[in-house]
């Protein structure tokens, strides 16, 4: 055999061997690829995998979901969260916060194991999986439950802001600072917890909260308010209905703040006097002073009268005031102020450059006291009130006669006494250190004359 033929033979042998090796390698690759595809595309979760201790190996995703759903409660009930709420801590069970097992996601997560990588990587991973692999369950948050739980947390922990407020004690005004509050915002709480649940890290939760500022801050008040005046009237006590009405109206006055330029209405402040509004039946002046009858809120005019005197002594501007039809026994004539639901009001304006604060209370069960606080007077330090009788008013007609055919002839009864009325003028007297400064007219008052009324019998 010549040399060239030997070379050809050697080359042929080498090629044949290479071909055999190549075919072998390719066949092996195809087998591995086929096996890999079987692992990746298998409809069942790989053997050995469990979720939270629940075996799901060999199950389809749908079957795993069903199995996990049967164990959903036990996979949640033993989980305890620690909530950090504005420097406070609260332990709670996962279920009460709205956390629940996400069966679908848990099954999908289990199915995803052993599905990615090369043949060799998958072979190693699946071998390890077959020896046992427990994965953490996936959870989700129920929105409705989470929002309800946020409300529960607010009831337990939220702090309502405290408005600044004024308190009068022994003629001095005490300023109390406002206090900031805070609350959990349900939407923010839900978003925070939902994100942590999604990440699987929710055992420690910092609950977001929002600070709430007080509506009335200390700087909203005029500083340096002092007691301008005090007014006192007496009554028979709070045991009867009239006294209860006086007490109710007095409590409604106490603590009212009137800013500079604002007006105060007695009717708006205490509301309509009706039994539905809690006012009791008590004597009230009716028919132009001719008689008295029980009405809801009877007696509140003593409160408006006491306030009127305080307003005058505080040198505030009276915008609307009317005296009673007849003189009353709890105050000097000419210094009273009546009111009536829907018709007669007592209105005054804060004509100072600062706030006006009312302090009203009942003392010793028989004294109605009203104090007014405001900026100090300028040019005087006290106002006293006086009222002068200015004239008599005679009845303007004959006595009214009402004939009653149920009464025998000769029967006569005076229902309303015929009497004269009177007029008064009131004044404000200004003093400085006990020395008289000036005198100003306050108001005119007319107390009506009464023609009178009698019943005459006509029955024969």
413: pLDDT strictly greater than 70 = yes
CA distance 163 to 143: 34
Outline where 131-211 has alpha helix (H).
143-157, 186-199
Mean pLDDT of all residues belonging to the chain: 92
231: pLDDT strictly greater than 90 = yes
How big is the CA angle at 185 (ends 183 and 187), to the nearest 5 degrees?
Answer: 170
For residue range 114-155, list pLDDT tens digits in order.
Answer: 899 888 888 898 899 899 999 999 999 999 999 999 999 999
Amino acid 139: pLDDT: 95
Amino acid 65: pLDDT: 94
Q: What average pLDDT score do residues 268-280 get? A: 96
CA distance 296 to 278: 9
For residue range 155-199, list pLDDT tens digits in order.
Answer: 999 999 999 999 999 899 999 999 999 999 999 999 999 999 999
Residue % of the chain over a pLDDT of 70: 95
For residue range 358-402, list pLDDT tens digits in order.
Answer: 999 999 999 999 999 999 999 999 999 999 999 999 999 898 898
| β-bridge pairing 412-416 and 400-408 | unpaired
Residue with tokens 């407020």: 165
CA distance 447 to 346: 18
234-246 in b/e form (b: 16+ CB < 10 A) is ebebbeebbbbbb
**By three-state DSSP, how is residue 139 classified?**
strand
Burial status of residue 391 (CB atoms within 10 A of its CB: 0-12, 13-18, 19 or more): exposed
For residue range 253-265, list pLDDT tens digits in order.
Answer: 999 999 999 999 9
> Which 8-state DSSP code applies to residue 314?
T
Give the H/E segment covering residue 207: none
CA distance 122 to 372: 88
Q: What average pLDDT score do residues 20-34 get? A: 69
Nearest to 360 by CA among 223, 165, 230, 226: 230
Residue with tokens 């709070």: 238
Contact between 309 and 315 under an 8 Å Cβ cutoff? The reply is no
17: pLDDT strictly greater than 80 = no
CA distance 75 to 19: 58
What distances in angstroms separate CA 427 from CA 234, 335, 374, 446, one per listed residue?
Answer: 22, 9, 21, 15
CA distance 341 to 160: 36
pLDDT band at 11 (very low <50, low <70, confident <90, very high): confident
Contact between 236 and 362 under an 8 Å Cβ cutoff? The reply is no
Selected residue with higher pLDDT from 30 and 305: 305
Selected residue with higher pLDDT from 244 and 117: 244
Amino acid 5: pLDDT: 72
Amino acid 24: pLDDT: 62
289: pLDDT strictly greater than 70 = no
| β-bridge pairing 263-265 and 367-374 | unpaired
| Structure tokens belonging to residue 151 | 């409300």
Residue by residue, DSSP assigns 326-355 as S--TTS-TT-----BTTTB--EEE--SSS-
88-93: strand order across its sheet: 88-93, 80-85, 204-206
1: pLDDT strictly greater than 60 = no
Amino acid 456: pLDDT: 87
Amino acid 28: pLDDT: 63
CA distance 37 to 35: 5
């Amino acid at each position: 055999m010549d040399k060239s033929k030997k070379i050809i033979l050697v080359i042929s042998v080498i090629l044949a061997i290479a071909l055999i090796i190549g075919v072998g390698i390719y066949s092996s690759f195809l087998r591995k690829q086929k096996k890999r595809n079987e692992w990746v595309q298998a409809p069942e979760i790989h053997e050995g995998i469990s979720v939270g201790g629940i075996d799901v190996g060999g199950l389809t995703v749908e079957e795993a979901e069903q199995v996990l759903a049967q164990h959903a409660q036990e996979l949640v009930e033993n989980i305890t969260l620690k909530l950090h709420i504005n420097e406070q801590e609260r332990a709670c069970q996962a279920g009460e916060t709205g956390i629940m097992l996400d069966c679908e996601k848990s099954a999908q997560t289990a199915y995803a194991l052993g599905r990615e990588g090369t043949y060799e990587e998958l072979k190693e991973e699946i071998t390890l999986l077959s020896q046992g692999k427990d994965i953490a369950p996936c959870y989700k948050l129920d929105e409705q439950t989470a929002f309800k739980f946020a409300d529960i947390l607010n009831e337990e922990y939220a702090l309502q802001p405290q408005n600044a407020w004024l308190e009068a004690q022994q003629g001095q005004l005490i300023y109390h600072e406002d206090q900031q509050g805070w609350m959990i915002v349900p939407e923010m709480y839900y978003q925070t917890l939902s994100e942590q649940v999604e990440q699987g890290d929710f055992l420690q939760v910092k609950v977001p909260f929002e600070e709430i500022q007080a509506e009335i801050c200390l700087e909203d008040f005029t500083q340096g308010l002092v007691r301008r005046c005090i007014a006192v009237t007496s009554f028979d006590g709070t045991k009867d209905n009239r006294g209860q009405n006086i007490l109710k109206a007095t409590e409604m006055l106490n603590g009212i703040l009137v800013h500079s330029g604002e007006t105060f209405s007695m009717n708006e402040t205490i509301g309509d006097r009706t039994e539905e509004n809690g006012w009791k039946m008590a004597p009230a002046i009716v028919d132009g002073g001719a008689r008295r009858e029980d009405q809801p809120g009877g007696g509140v005019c003593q409160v408006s009268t006491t306030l009127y005197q305080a307003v005058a002594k505080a040198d505030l501007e009276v915008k609307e005031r009317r005296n009673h039809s007849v003189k009353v026994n709890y105050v000097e004539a000419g210094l009273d102020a009546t009111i009536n639901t829907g018709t007669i009001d007592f209105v005054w304006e804060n004509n100072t450059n600062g706030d006006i604060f009312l302090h009203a209370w009942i003392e010793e069960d028989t004294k109605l006291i009203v104090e007014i606080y405001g900026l100090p007077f300028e040019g005087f330090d006290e106002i006293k009130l006086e009222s002068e009788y200015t004239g008599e008013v005679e009845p303007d007609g004959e006595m009214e006669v009402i004939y009653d055919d149920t009464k025998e002839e000769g029967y006569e009864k005076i229902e309303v006494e015929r009497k004269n009325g009177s007029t008064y003028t009131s004044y404000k007297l200004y003093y400085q250190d006990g020395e008289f400064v000036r005198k100003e007219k306050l108001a005119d008052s007319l107390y009506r004359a009464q023609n009178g009324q009698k019943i005459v019998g006509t029955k024969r």
